A and B are shown apart, each in its own frame.
Chain A
Amino acid sequence: MRYLPKSPFDRSTMLDAIGVASIDDLFTTIPAEYRLTGDMKIPRQMGEQEIVEFFRAAADRNANGYASFLGAGAYRHYRPVVIDAMVQRGEFLTSYTPYQAEITQGTLQAIFEFQTMICELTGMEIANASMYDGSTGAAESVMMAARVTGRSHIVVANTVHPEYREVLKTYAQHQGLPKQIVGYGADGRVDQTALEDAITDQTACVLIQSPNFFGVIEDIAAIAEMAHAKGALLIVSIAEALSLGIVRPPVEADIVSLEAQSFGVPVGYGGPYCGVLACKEKFIRQMPGRLTGATTDKQGRRGFVLTLSTREQHIRREKATSNICTNQALVALMTCIYLTIYGKAGMKELAEQNLAKAHYAAQVLGATPGSELLFAKSPRFHEFVLSTQEAPDAMNTRLLEHKIIGGLSLVKWYPELRNASLWCATEQNSREQIDTAAAVVAGKEAATLAYA
């Protein structure tokens, strides 16, 4: 086996040194009746070339060469090559949690930079070293809010990503956290009247998403006021982190749960991604996950360490703030590099391009016969909901014939929005793709289409 650095001679020398006759003598603590005597029934050992060919064949059976308008929590953005060049350095790739600060300053400093950038982008005072993803991050935020307030009721907008809400339900079910769902108004934003009614002096927190699942930006300031009036915390979940390049940060929130996948992380069939929690500093002791802090060594030189670990499971066991152990360090590093590449000017410029692409796509698709752009007057970033004459599945089948993956059907989650689909346009979508999609949605003949 090519990964194993031992010759048969090495093995026999080592067995001799240990003083046993065969390797099986080291496994005698396993009762004989449970020891495997034959090979496991898994594929035989493959050579490297075979492995690459196997996965190439698998990759070829997926969508290749399609234009895509999917978003909905997994966003297609260009990934600068510098990211993979850096994260594939073995010193980052093959090290572990930086418990030994003296020989992990590279990881620690990068996390410190990451925490700083997340604070800047979200307008929060502190940020942790990352969570698994946006869905579990939102659930952890809710549990954190319950600890902070000592209250148990939670209020959730139904324009939070449906899968985030499902995860929250799983997490909250045994925590004794009754949940109330609040719907959306005609503008696609959370129904503020219903929200105000739902918040009581028992409410631990209000969880909203902005831009929400429909791509509509919520009025954070107004919602924060409602929550704070009753002593509840406001948690803002952000699934599309790039929106922070052009959308005012949710500074009125108490906790921001960010999914940073847009910052240079492949959509990769859904993971790994990079959740991160940011919040007001006064909540620090209740925050889950790892934190990196600056300090000095014995000679007074600047350095970084994992800190405040007394919140964590390896110290507090069943009294910990969360059971989380590993986070998404390497993915957080990707996002840190991405933010460094685009920087202050690039984040804004890129976000503006996304805004422009989506604005154009919404206009041309919304103008197709029988279609209607829903929540048209509300502020959006780069996603929009299109209601069509045709059922989304039928429309998408026709689009696939032109190598276009259309918007995500919302029929499963929001059947009340007749024939609605959620579209996303990013810097990866050319005008030609948008025009072609609009032509196909409009039912024009394939022969007249430029793209495909």
Chain B
Amino acid sequence: MATDTLNPAGVTSTETITIPFVGERRKVASHINQNEGLIFEKSSPGKKAYRLSPLDVPAVDAKSLLGDLAREDVGLLPEVSEIEIIRHFTRLSTWNYAIDLGMYPLGSCTMKYNPRVNELVARLQGIAEAHPYQPESLSQGAMRVMWLLQDCLKEITGMDAITLQPAAGAHGEFTGILLVRAYHESKGNPRKKVLIPDSAHGTNPATAAICGYQVQNLKSNSEGMVDLAELEKLVDEETAALMLTNPSTIGVFESEIHKIADILHAKGALLYMDGANMNALVGKTRPGDFGVDVMHMNLHKTFSTPHGGGGPGSGPVACKKILEPFLPTPVIVEKADGTLTFHYDHPQSVGRVRMFYGNYGMFVRALAYILANGPDGLRQTTEDAVLNANYIRKHLEDVYELPYKTATLHEVVFSDRRQARNGVKTGDIAKRLIDYGFHPYTVSFPMIVPGALMIEPTESESKEELDLFIDAMRQIAREADENPAIILSAPNATRVSRMDEVGAARKPVLRWKPAIAAAPASTENSALEPATAAKEY
């Protein structure tokens, strides 16, 4: 048995931790990273990180202008210098894992490379400083970017019309289901229910509920696909739509998608496609061609805009002609002279879902990505993503249980059934992957696979990185057989070990508070006065 001896930061220098490994740990070595307290703990009155330009108009007395409404004290904001800010946030950044460091196979999240040219063009002055209300005559460049992105996305999805306004995927779902509802209302009956497969992402049922629909659960068949007989039974004149993720959350294309569409359309219901997995289809097939009526895309998944630690996203919604009159306003229109203008007068519109025009900065990045790829690059991207997922599947299916044997596209879902016999669950394997230098896959989703390991490599991984990942996963499978205890204690090489999540939820401490006024500021483990336990309201 090999061992790595390391001395993680945050542990006093006399301590060393020895992590056993059944084999070699090829991707990572341990390295020192810095301790850092909360920014408030570095604060000291009088330190500054700013200097304003001199005021060139007469100074005013806030008290005399605002009276009782004037604020004396802005509260406990930090007072620190610029170098401390740089070090603070740089140190924090080094505690994160990221795509830039290595493979991040979080299934369904599509953690692909985020090209740096996207960041540069989004920060060009004429774009970053464009005000949403500046005259259209001085916004033609900004509007042209939206126009071209719309054209590209319509072509990629095979749809007729689009809105870029939704701020994220779930917001796109909301917009899409509103379109469905408005369409049915225009026919005289909004209908009552939305069908959602049990394999769906949690946002789908949550979305249907906030659009005023009852959620009807659609059980998957033994292959994890839509059960056509079951669908036929459930669809009736009160069914507004089916929300279908395609490829599904187990990475499988619904081969009978056209029949699914036919069953829905025969009863006047619509087919909504959750485009979270559109990166498996781009350049190979188009939802508009196989019967989808409305769908959203996640620009932060398929089109490479950065995930940023959890946003911002962007969730454009594309639809067929029949749904176009209901799109949110404003709608961009090209005038006869070739200039672009926003149209606000669409009486059947579902209304606005967000102020201004959406997460515009993401449009710029997504378009830059599309231009960098072109049709051939986008197709190759899809092919490589599918190739990578299948390569992993091939090399792990003998050691991890593959509950659904159907051919997979961009992601592969295993179960922890074999390892669980030794008390090792998917969450434990995930934590152990961290010791091998990888971000874990998605844990325990989709719910139709008990103990799921949902692995999505994306096209951004080289064969070398995939081989390292496969090695790590195979070694963990051996560890589960030979020495499960070393998995259960993982991760061992991180700054902090497994967190007390139960304690965090039972007695939420959601903000920093100064400890005791007289006590000197300490850099570690102080000053987190527990807030009063939250009560159920």
Within 8 Å CB of A88, what residues of B? 119
A429-444 interface code vs B (CB 8 A; 1 in, 0 out)? 0111010000000000
Stretch at the interface among B49-57, B262-270, B316-324, B477-485: B49-57
B168 engages A246 (CB within 8 Å): no
A211-229 interface code vs B (CB 8 A; 1 in, 0 out)? 0000001000000000000
Interface residues of B in 94-109 (CB under 8 A from A): 94-101, 104, 106, 109
B309 located at the interface, meaning its Cβ lies under 8 Å from any Cβ of chain A in the complex? yes
B38 located at the interface, meaning its Cβ lies under 8 Å from any Cβ of chain A in the complex? yes
Taking a contact as CB atoms closer than 8 A, the residue among B89, B140, B503 that contacts A62 in the complex is B140
B120 engages A92 (CB within 8 Å): no
Taking a contact as CB atoms closer than 8 A, the residue among A62, A97, A379 that contacts B67 in the complex is A379
A39 engages B207 (CB within 8 Å): no
| Nearest B residue to A86, CB-CB | B89
Taking a contact as CB atoms closer than 8 A, the residue among A164, A294, A432 that contacts B528 in the complex is A294
B508 engages A293 (CB within 8 Å): yes
Stretch at the interface among B231-239, B300-308, B415-423: B300-308
B450 located at the interface, meaning its Cβ lies under 8 Å from any Cβ of chain A in the complex? no
A10 located at the interface, meaning its Cβ lies under 8 Å from any Cβ of chain B in the complex? yes
Within 8 Å CB of A292, what residues of B? 510
B398 located at the interface, meaning its Cβ lies under 8 Å from any Cβ of chain A in the complex? no
Within 8 Å CB of A15, what residues of B? 387
A373 located at the interface, meaning its Cβ lies under 8 Å from any Cβ of chain B in the complex? no
Taking a contact as CB atoms closer than 8 A, the residue among B90, B98, B281 that contacts A86 in the complex is B90
A63 engages B138 (CB within 8 Å): yes
A293 engages B510 (CB within 8 Å): yes
B374 engages A46 (CB within 8 Å): yes
Stretch at the interface among A151-159, A179-187, A196-204, A307-315: A307-315
A307 engages B50 (CB within 8 Å): no
Interface residues of A in 389-440 (CB under 8 A from B): 396, 400, 405, 408, 427, 430-432, 434
On whether A93 and B509 interact (CB within 8 A), knowing A326-B170, A341-B85, A345-B48, the answer reads: no
B90-130 interface code vs A (CB 8 A; 1 in, 0 out)? 11111111111100101001010111010111111111111
Interface residues of A in 280-301 (CB under 8 A from B): 281-286, 290-301
B429-446 interface code vs A (CB 8 A; 1 in, 0 out)? 011001000011001010
Within 8 Å CB of A119, what residues of B? 511
On whether A35 and B76 interact (CB within 8 A), knowing A44-B374, A318-B205, the answer reads: no
A299 to B168, CA, bound (A): 38
On whether A329 and B66 interact (CB within 8 A), knowing A26-B407, A102-B495, A345-B79, the answer reads: no
For B, the interface residue count at a CB cutoff of 8 angstroms equals 211
Chain A nearest Cβ from B270, distance in angstroms: 16
Taking a contact as CB atoms closer than 8 A, the residue among A45, A113, A268 that contacts B39 in the complex is A113
A333 to B212, CA, bound (A): 34
Within 8 Å CB of B534, what residues of A? 281-282, 284-285, 308
A105 engages B78 (CB within 8 Å): no
A-B interface pairs (CB < 8 A), number: 709
B101 engages A90 (CB within 8 Å): yes
A163 to B133, CA, bound (A): 12
Within 8 Å CB of B27, what residues of A? none
A329 to B75, CA, bound (A): 23
Within 8 Å CB of B352, what residues of A? 135, 163, 166-167, 169-170
B155 engages A41 (CB within 8 Å): yes
B169 located at the interface, meaning its Cβ lies under 8 Å from any Cβ of chain A in the complex? yes
On whether A62 and B138 interact (CB within 8 A), knowing A103-B494, A272-B361, A341-B82, the answer reads: yes
Chain A nearest Cβ from B91, distance in angstroms: 8
Within 8 Å CB of B155, what residues of A? 40-42
B311 engages A163 (CB within 8 Å): no
A76 to B129, CA, bound (A): 8
Within 8 Å CB of B373, what residues of A? 1, 3, 45
A61 engages B141 (CB within 8 Å): yes
A327 engages B50 (CB within 8 Å): no
| Nearest B residue to A39, CB-CB | B375
A190 located at the interface, meaning its Cβ lies under 8 Å from any Cβ of chain B in the complex? no
| Nearest B residue to A176, CB-CB | B212
Within 8 Å CB of B510, what residues of A? 112, 115, 126-127, 284, 291-294, 307
A364 to B406, CA, bound (A): 73
